[in-house]
Amino acid sequence: MSARPYRSVLYIPGSKERALEKAMSLAADAIIFDLEDAMSPEEKPAARELLARVLADWDFGNRARIVRINGFDTEWGREDARAMDAAIARGAKVDAILIPKVNRAADLDAVAEAVPGVDLWAMMETSLGMLNAAEIAAHPRLKGMVMGTNDLAKELNSRFRPDRLAMQAGLGLCLLAARAHGKVIVDGVYNAFKDDEGLRAECEQGRDMGFDGKTLIHPAQLEIANQAFAPSPEELDLARRQIAAFSAAKAAGQGVAVVDGKIVENLHIVTATATLAKADAIAAMAE
């Protein structure tokens, strides 16, 4: 799985030049440049041309650049893919192509052929996609998965609940699939972008479940997501103490250590090491 942080993954409409310009200075770990939902059908061809130029000419720093194209079952999808492939050939930096409404692994094949030089990500937002999450995650070109909880809620005909009870089965299936195949996975959006407490609670829920980060719809949500999905000072301190204690125990010929009254085994050291590596990667993003 990638060491790059994906705490905050911000959607930016590909048709909005001012928003694209602002994105170069935002504290987002990744940007989804959206050619699908964020604009009217009439805007899509111009947005495609604008985004191809922007990605070739503008510097977005260390932020991951992910382009969400339209589906190949629409009149725009293949043109989106061709435009991005041509832009990459001209030097545009695109880290991944995000494919909407992936139902099965075969949905990735046509895009993989159309854009051979870039990683693929999948929007997981349909009931069928949830049921086929394992085969989708196993696709050799796939590197990441994005939960599309708004579309999933529409399919399920579910109601919003702060605990996201209706989402739990789908979220869990996709998490299991991503972890089984070593893929990045980020949680769905929180629509009430002025509700800081609600966003914080949902970020913490997603973090505790195991997501790498959260997709966001507004720059005002960045700080909360970045904080929630970063290791806390307490977690970093514990990780360092676990590693030190386990090293001392091994040197003494013992297989386990005790930290804060809890057993520390090798599996805990794997987690502790990953926690410190994540903090280092986050620090590197700010350089």
Tens of pLDDT, residue by residue over 210-221, are: 999 999 999 999
pLDDT computed for residue 1 by the predictor:
53
Please report the pLDDT score of residue 150 as a whole number: 97
Q: What is the pLDDT of residues 127-143, one digit of tens each?
A: 999 999 999 999 999 99
Q: What share of the chain is helix, strand, coil (3-state, %, to 5)?
A: 50, 15, 35
Average confidence (pLDDT) over 175-203: 97
Q: Which residues have C-beta within 8 Å of that of residue 19, sequence separation ≥ 6?
A: 12, 13
Q: Does the pLDDT value for residue 172 go beyond 60?
A: yes
- If phi over 0 gives left and psi between -120 and 50 gives alpha, with beta otherwise, what is residue 265? beta
Q: Which pLDDT belongs to residue 38?
A: 78
The residue-averaged pLDDT of 91-119 equals 96
Question: With contact defined as beta carbons under 8 Å apart, do 32 and 9 qualify?
Answer: yes
Pick the CATH number of 8-228 from 1.10.1060.10, 3.40.640.10, 3.20.20.60, 1.20.1440.60: 3.20.20.60
Mean pLDDT of the chain: 96
Q: So what's the pLDDT on residue 3? A: 74
Identity of residue 255: G
Cα 151 to chain centroid, rounded:
17
The stretch 222-250 carries a mean pLDDT of 97
| Amino acid 175: pLDDT | 98
Domain boundaries, the chain: 8-228, 233-285
C-alpha span between 36 and 143 (Å, rounded): 20
Dihedral of the alpha carbons of 20, 23, 25, 29, in degrees to the nearest 10: -150
Q: What does DSSP say about strands 8-13 and 119-124: parallel, antiparallel, or unpaired?
A: unpaired
For residue 48, the model assigns a pLDDT of: 95
Residue 246 in this model has a pLDDT that exceeds 60: yes
Q: Of all residues in the chain, what percent carry a pLDDT higher than 70?
A: 99
What is the pLDDT, as a whole number, of residue 74?
A: 95
**pLDDT > 80? residue 233:** yes
pLDDT of residue 2: 61
pLDDT of residue 39: 86
Query: What digits encode the pLDDT tens for the residues 37-84?
Result: 878 899 999 999 999 999 999 999 999 999 999 999 999 999 999 999
Q: pLDDT, tens digit, for every residue of 10-19?
A: 999 999 999 9
User: Tell me, what's the pLDDT at 82?
Assistant: 95
Tell me the C-alpha to C-alpha distance, in Å, between residue 182 and each of 13, 126, 134, 175: 29, 22, 11, 10
Is the pLDDT at 103 greater than 60? The verdict is: yes
pLDDT at 117: 85
Instruction: Please tell me whether residue 166 adopts helix, strand or coil conformation.
Output: helix
